[in-house]
């Protein structure tokens, strides 16, 4: 297309894009953004490379009484930009307007706010339907309700045997990704996965890939999401699936993307990160696995809750949020709408960097409460 027709087309497209962005600013989204406070931007500190897991910098402190009273002046200034960023993210995704792949566990196309598993309810005061749980019985997944721990490096089998005396029955395993704190996992292989499953443990697979360009943790800044986040997210999702299969983690298992705490007030960075996450989720679903997402409650999880309320597609089916309040609070997280990622779709990391000993085996761990899917292990005993 050239000449006057080309110029006319360009102007028309610009006008159309502006109208589309404006339409994306729904009343529900405005209300949601107005509730966001600027208390989240600077209070997450970097962590040392000696931390026991990939999660120490993602801690969100338990909210103080004053945290429930938003400082509206800076929020009003930020709200239009946040809405515009979400709209731009929707427009920028390649294939964002093609039918999204169905969630293998039944969350519906894209498992956005209109997932097929979303319960009908009149209690959604924000006016936006909640994300659906992974609840399609035609594609079975394994549900776990109880306590879990994770540590940077997969423990020895001797430790896993000894820790059967602990209150934990699930273990988070960092099975892949270039951003892992412990890239060398000398104990982790398919035999280890099968053995811990046969010991009675349930596995929560964590993939620590590229991180937000505005990540807080200094030692994660050397693995940033690049200039093509959609392509990169798709490729790293493929990496995650291949690594999971190599360990005997079968389809219909959850794969949890670990995105460490990042500065969501950096709107360009937030848009880049959301595109990466959405692409990763879409590809994981396409290959028959269930995408989950781990991050700080006050950064990555807050960001995805805003996206959910704005009807963004390709969001995770399971949310794993870190707020180190000392006690589990799966369904009392202030950042999440009560019916966002409802029952069987949440994990709360409620404490971290704690040392516990069972059977003479001491480990430094993070603690989580789980009401969510766990891995299918192909070669485990039935």
Q: What is the pLDDT of residues 336-351, one digit of tens each?
A: 999 999 989 999 999 9
Predicted confidence (pLDDT) at residue 188 exceeds the cutoff of 80: yes
Question: Which one has a higher pLDDT value, 379 or 247?
Answer: 247
Q: Give the pLDDT confidence score for residue 294 in this predicted structure.
A: 98
Question: Which one has a higher pLDDT value, 109 or 358?
Answer: 358
Round to whole Å and give the CA distance between 290 and 341. Answer: 14
* Confidence category of residue 145, pLDDT binned at 50, 70, 90: very high
Question: Which one has a higher pLDDT value, 70 or 326?
Answer: 326
Q: Give the pLDDT confidence score for residue 312 in this predicted structure.
A: 98
Q: Give the pLDDT confidence score for residue 133 in this predicted structure.
A: 40
Round to whole Å and give the CA distance between 255 and 277. Answer: 12
Predicted confidence (pLDDT) at residue 62 exceeds the cutoff of 50: yes
Segments in the chain forming alpha helices (H):
3-24, 27-34, 72-92, 157-162, 190-198, 229-246, 267-286, 302-309
Round to whole Å and give the CA distance between 136 and 288. Answer: 13
Q: What angle do CA 141, 169, 155 make, to 5 degrees?
A: 105
* Confidence category of residue 201, pLDDT binned at 50, 70, 90: very high
Predicted confidence (pLDDT) at residue 104 exceeds the cutoff of 70: no
Q: Are 373 and 346 in contact (CB under 8 A)?
A: no
From 24-28, 182-186, 195-199, 286-290, the region with the lowest mean pLDDT: 24-28
Predicted confidence (pLDDT) at residue 285 exceeds the cutoff of 70: yes
* Confidence category of residue 238, pLDDT binned at 50, 70, 90: very high
Q: Give the pLDDT confidence score for residue 89 in this predicted structure.
A: 56
Tell me what the pLDDT averaged over the chain comes to. Answer: 76
Q: What is the pLDDT of residues 78-88, one digit of tens each?
A: 445 555 556 55
Q: Give the pLDDT confidence score for residue 87 in this predicted structure.
A: 56
Q: Are 28 and 126 in contact (CB under 8 A)?
A: yes
Q: What is the pLDDT of residues 255-275, one digit of tens each?
A: 999 999 999 999 999 999 999
* Confidence category of residue 307, pLDDT binned at 50, 70, 90: very high
User: Exposed, middle or buried, 32 (CB in 10 Å: 0-12/13-18/19+)?
Assistant: buried
């Amino acid at each position: 297309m050239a000449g006057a027709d080309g110029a006319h087309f360009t102007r028309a497209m610009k006008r159309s894009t502006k109208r589309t962005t404006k339409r994306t600013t729904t009343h529900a989204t405005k209300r949601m953004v107005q509730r966001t406070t600027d208390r989240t931007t600077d209070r997450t500190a970097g962590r040392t490379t000696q931390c026991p897991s990939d999660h120490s910098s993602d801690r969100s402190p338990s909210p103080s009484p004053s945290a429930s009273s938003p400082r509206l002046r800076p929020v009003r200034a930020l709200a239009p930009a946040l809405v515009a960023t979400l709209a731009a993210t929707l427009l920028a995704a390649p294939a964002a307007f093609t039918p999204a792949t169905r969630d293998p566990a039944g969350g519906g196309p894209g498992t956005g706010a209109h997932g097929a598993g979303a319960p009908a309810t009149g209690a959604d005061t924000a006016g936006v339907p909640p994300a659906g749980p992974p609840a399609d019985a035609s594609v079975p997944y394994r549900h776990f309700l109880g306590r879990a721990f994770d540590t940077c490096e997969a423990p020895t089998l001797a430790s896993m045997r000894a820790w059967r005396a602990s209150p934990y029955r699930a273990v988070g395993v960092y099975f892949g990704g270039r951003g892992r704190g412990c890239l060398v996992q000398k104990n982790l292989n398919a035999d280890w996965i099968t053995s811990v499953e046969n010991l009675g443990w349930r596995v929560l697979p964590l993939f620590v890939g590229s991180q937000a360009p505005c990540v807080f943790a200094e030692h994660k800044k050397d693995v940033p999401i690049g200039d093509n986040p959609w392509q990169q997210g798709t490729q790293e999702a493929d990496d995650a699936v291949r690594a999971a299969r190599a360990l005997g983690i079968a389809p219909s298992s959850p794969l949890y993307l670990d995105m460490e705490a990042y500065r969501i007030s950096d709107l360009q960075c937030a848009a880049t990160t959301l595109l990466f996450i959405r692409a990763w989720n879409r590809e994981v679903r396409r290959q028959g696995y269930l995408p989950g997402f781990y991050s700080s409650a006050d950064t990555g999880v807050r960001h995805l809750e805003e996206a959910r309320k704005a009807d963004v597609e390709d969001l995770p089916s399971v949310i794993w949020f870190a707020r180190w309040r000392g006690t589990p609070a799966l369904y009392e997280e202030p950042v999440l709408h009560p019916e966002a990622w409802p029952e069987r779709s949440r994990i709360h990391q409620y404490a971290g960097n704690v040392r516990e000993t069972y059977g003479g085996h001491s480990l430094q761990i993070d603690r989580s409460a789980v009401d969510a899917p766990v891995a299918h292990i192909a070669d485990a005993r039935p």
